[in-house]
Amino acid sequence: MKLTRRDAVAALTAAGVSASAVAMARLDDRASESGAFTARDLDVLLATADVVYPSAVSVTEEFIETYSVGRVQDREVYRTGMKRAIADVNAYAGRYTGTPFPDLAPSARDQVLREMGVDRVQPEPEGTVPEQVRYYLVNELLYALYSTPTGGELVGLENPPGYAGGLESYQQAPEDRPADE
């Protein structure tokens, strides 16, 4: 399954982000001045998604850029937390492997996240570094995936709540199980 910009727009719409914000969701050439995402930030997000998304999903730059930039462009505090988590993952990888996070092999990236303890902590925006990485990167990327119809198919929910027919399909029993169970 390949995630596209259309999937990102669907996920953003379900999250309540306006269409005009989605249309403007692009990396900012003046990123260092404006606090917007840089191309290197996007590389870390892509590398993280490549690790946390199921292998059946093909991660695309257009999906990650549209979703991540579109979701936080008008949320300065959240964007700052996300950029800090990106920098922390990259710094941790650099300290322990000598290589920036996006330049590592997927298995090494997975190992870096596990060594940080990201897989064992509760997400917390004001918590420890692993808790913040879990909150701002891992959970954010997983939410992006599973709030799209494409991602929902992976868990048997083809119309997630927030989409036409989503609430109705969510409340129905699966086809292979009687409704009274």
Please give the pLDDT value at position 103: 97
CB 10 within 8 A of CB 22: no
Please give the pLDDT value at position 179: 54
Please give the pLDDT value at position 89: 97
Please give the pLDDT value at position 32: 46
Report the first-to-last Cα separation within the chain, whole angstroms. Answer: 32
Please give the pLDDT value at position 98: 96
Closest CA to 48 of 78, 96, 87, 15: 87
Count CA atoms within 13 Å of residue 60 on its CB side. 12
Please give the pLDDT value at position 10: 65
CB 138 within 8 A of CB 124: no
Residue 29 has φ and ψ, to the nearest 5°, of: -65, -25
Name residues of the chain where pLDDT drops below 70: 4-35, 155-181
Q: What is the CB neighbour count within 10 angstroms for residue 35?
A: 13
Please give the pLDDT value at position 50: 93
- Alpha helix ranges (H) inside the chain: 5-14, 19-23, 31-34, 39-52, 61-72, 76-97, 106-116, 129-133, 140-146, 149-154, 166-171
Please give the pLDDT value at position 54: 87
CB 45 within 8 A of CB 86: yes
| Residue count of the chain | 181
